[in-house]
Structure 1
């Protein structure tokens, strides 16, 4: 066989193998996407608890998962007269009369991760709202937390204590209170984490010494919980928030004035997570074999202003829950 013929044949074989390889990669990716969708649809339970819907992030997760057909327990410090409760109630009414009503539902309930008595009451409420054929729930997403920014030498010690009590002890209290709902379904406990446990908002020079220390402790708590709950089939999953500011994790819904006219409705938005980040959370919830950690941002070393697809409306404006010292707690 002549050299030129062999060269042409070699190029043809190379092109053929390239096409076959590309097709194989496409099929693998397609099967993976389909398996995620199937696992989500065939999961034995579609009930999810969000421990704090007082935040924009918690509100966004509640409405997103309800749109996906989940029954969502929305934990709130005040489940009736608070701004988040009114926003969720208004959102549900709007969707109820829309052309395409949502497949899921949202059940607001009182929940405070710093109080044992309130947590016990929440477990009773959840048990009463489960159907007779439901043994438990699919997942608990712990969105509760607290952040106070300030230099150590001038920061109030009570702020440190509040962050430790909410972030660290709150993580353990959530596990203690609701693990009984996760064992029967081999469910999942999701928490907000950071790469290597170093927090999600930067270094101590940003006035986050105590906060970042609490995030390291939270990651360690989750690591130990993962070992303890593994024999029961309960998965503990970290949602890696690296690249997001600490305040964005716990900020209240943002009010936006749409009109200067007197009596015009105030629109509140939950502009925390992008559609891609929401898809990551879906994977963390429904992947057949969940990873220990999922990154919410594709490029962690950059910080993005992430838009929200939908907004929540309320007729009467309410004062912001953000304190004068830049603190946020839920």
Structure 2
């Protein structure tokens, strides 16, 4: 056998082995699950979107005891009402140490020594647009909300998770694979969250604590609408010379094109909530759950390409915000 044929056969064998291992892990993660009846789960960011849907599903379909952190009192009251009293909802701003400690005290008192099965770090948000137009305060808020807030929650509840051999599930983003133009503040913070999850997973695995990420692609939730509004406001508030340098109104039209092209492949929020529930229930949760057609068929392949090729593709399909 020639050297070229040998290398080809070896590459094919390695690829086949990796695919088989991936399918086996997926099968184990999907089929071998804990019964969640009577188990306790904390979910953050439950006013709307993924967090609200996941909290309701865990309580209704899985009969779990759900503690739901909401940013607003109205959000907490609405969630408790919609759950028929099956969810314990309370105000919890993950950027406020006092709120996180208050949540820890509440959960500890309610459980009365029983273990906490899972913490779902879902609270997050997107703000800003072009790097030159973003104020430094935008980067500070994104890091505080999407990274440090989750770290604060994880550190507070880690002793409880370790005591019950539980798991931390963190909702990150498929955009941690490819940092798209116009998303520098959001993706920088989410990349930090992914790195934290990877490091923490290796630190606590020996304790029996699992750390899993749920990484959705584009999903048209209230989160998306707020992000779009923030982009427009940020650009409008920028210096006129900055707006002119980036094409002015033409750039705003490019954003509309981006929204139109992502909408057909946007991931239904219910699918993301279902992935969160799988990560919470699985006996052997995967390190990362990619969710959505765009995550699997676009962002993942593009992330594996040389940067120059990836940039060309992003520009060609119109999802990269650029001059």
SS of the residue 1:114 aligns to: coil
Paired residue for 1:92? 83
2-side partners of 1:123 and 1:117: how far apart? Answer: 10
Residue 187 (structure 1) aligned with residue 166 (structure 2): yes
Residue 218 (structure 1) aligned with residue 197 (structure 2): no
Residue 67 (structure 1) aligned with residue 46 (structure 2): no
TM-score, normalised via structure 2 length: 0.64
Structure with greater proportional strand content: 1
Unaligned runs of 5+ in 1: 1-27, 97-104, 253-270, 304-330
CA contact (8 A) 1:243 1:302 kept: no
Give the counterpart of 1:40 among 16, 34, 43: 34
CA contact (8 A) 1:47 1:71 kept: yes
Query: RMSD of the TM alignment (CA)?
Result: 3.1
SS of the residue 1:150 aligns to: coil
Superposed, which structure 2 residues align to 1:1-330 within 5 Å?
A: 39-41=33-35, 46-68=39-61, 69-78=63-72, 80=73, 82=74, 84-93=75-84, 105-132=86-113, 134=114, 136-195=115-174, 197-198=176-177, 203-204=180-181, 207-244=182-219, 248=223, 273=268, 275-300=270-295, 301=297
SS of the residue 2:107 aligns to: helix
Bigger radius of gyration: 1
CA shift at 1:245, angstroms? 6.3
Structure with greater proportional helix content: 2
In the alignment of these two chains, the number of paired residues is 235
2-side partners of 1:195 and 1:250: how far apart? Answer: 18
1:77-132 per-position Cα deviation (integer Å, ceiling 9, x unaligned): 33x4x2x1232133134xx7xxxxxxxx2001232211112211111100111145
1-side partners of 2:37 and 2:83: how far apart? Answer: 25
1-side partners of 2:174 and 2:52: how far apart? Answer: 24
TM-score, normalised via structure 1 length: 0.63
1-side partners of 2:37 and 2:52: how far apart? Answer: 24
CA contact (8 A) 1:45 1:138 kept: no
Paired residue for 1:326? none
Unaligned runs of 5+ in 2: 1-22, 228-265, 300-323
1-side partners of 2:162 and 2:128: how far apart? Answer: 37
